[in-house]
Amino acid sequence: MNYYTSKSQHDNRNLHELIGRLSKVRRIGEGRYIACCAVHQDRTPSLAVTQKPDGVILLHCHGCGAGGVDICNALGIDPASLFPPSDNPKYEKRSRGGFSAWQLLHALRGDLIRLLVVANDLKKLNALSSDDRDFIAEIILRLNDGLTYLEGAK
């Protein structure tokens, strides 16, 4: 990626090049995507990609915990391309937007289903009490209800 471009060119070109190198990419909002992580053998999308209003591209895998540098290295791109060129190289602290609750819960949905399957298997082996299994199932249902609510609000 060429990071010596204008800010408006960066906003589109670098994001599209990054997205083009990922698999199972899905747009979930303005400047927000989920995809399979290039760092680990990801079968379901767990990588959150967010382009902030200032043009900075945020990357975080909720499956393996990889951040921007690890993901850029796995894709063979320069981490500097995640940042737009600056007319003012002086650092000015700004408030951070980060990832939305919807992105986080959506990335965890597959893990929650797997947790319920494991809890059921442990219950069958009498390695988990019925109360503990029911508690896990209740937590998963509450988190899933929260995700459903957030999907309606996005």
CB neighbour class for 148 (10 Å; exposed up to 12, middle 13-18, buried from 19):
exposed
Q: How far apart are CA 71 and CA 46, in angstroms?
A: 12
Find the Cα–Cα–Cα–Cα dihedral 116, 122, 128, 132, rounded to 10°. Answer: 0
Tokens matching residue 33: 């995507």
What is the residue extent of each domain of the chain? 7-82, 101-153
Q: What is the pLDDT of residues 87-130, one digit of tens each?
A: 766 766 666 677 777 787 777 888 888 888 888 888 889 888 88
Task: Supply the pLDDT for residue 86.
Answer: 73
First to last CA, the chain: 31
* Ordered strands of the 23-29 beta sheet: 23-29, 32-36, 47-51, 57-61
CB neighbour class for 46 (10 Å; exposed up to 12, middle 13-18, buried from 19):
buried
* Phi, psi of 88, deg, nearest 5: -125, 100
Residues of the chain where predicted confidence (pLDDT) is lower than 70: 1-11, 88-89, 91-96, 153-154
DSSP letter string over 111-146? HHHHHHHHHHHHHHTTSS-HHHHHHHHHHHHHHHHH
Task: Supply the pLDDT for residue 60.
Answer: 94
C-beta of residue 102 within 8 angstroms of C-beta of residue 154: yes
